Amino acid sequence: GLGFNIVGGTDQQYIANDNSIYVSWIKKDGAAYLDGRLQEGDKILAINGKDLKDLRHKDAVELFRNAGYYVSLKIQRRLQPQNGPVGHGGDGESGGLPLAAILVPGLALAATAVWMLLRYRQRM
């Protein structure tokens, strides 16, 4: 096998309103693991030039089973969340803003709003 599992499809959406096929698990020491390019969470757009758009899960599985010895995948890398990397193999950088960069201004804005509300109530 190719050494990974997939989820998704028109009949088993992995993400709401998204019929895409995603890598759910990569078998340690399997072909995909040893190659090192595929990651859990990647969206698979095509296999050997065949588009995976709007396929049922079982039809996508069948394409993978019949892919042959040499396999070409077109993938879309998963997006990293803002608060840190997901899964294994990350370099420790989230690629987004640190959580403090969002929380500190938000708390300052909330404190200002409370202060203004209290001042307004005192004048009434």
Contact criterion met (CB below 8 Å) for 91 and 45: no
Q: Where are the alpha helices (DSSP H) in the chain?
A: 31-35, 57-65, 99-123
Q: What is the pLDDT of residues 41-96, one digit of tens each?
A: 999 999 999 999 999 999 999 999 999 888 999 999 976 555 555 544 444 444 44
Q: Give the pLDDT band of residue 109 (cuts 50, 70, 90).
A: low
Domain architecture of the chain: domains with CATH: 4-76 (2.30.42.10)
Query: How far apart (Å, rounded) are the C-alpha atoms in residues 41 and 79?
Result: 9
Contact criterion met (CB below 8 Å) for 46 and 60: no
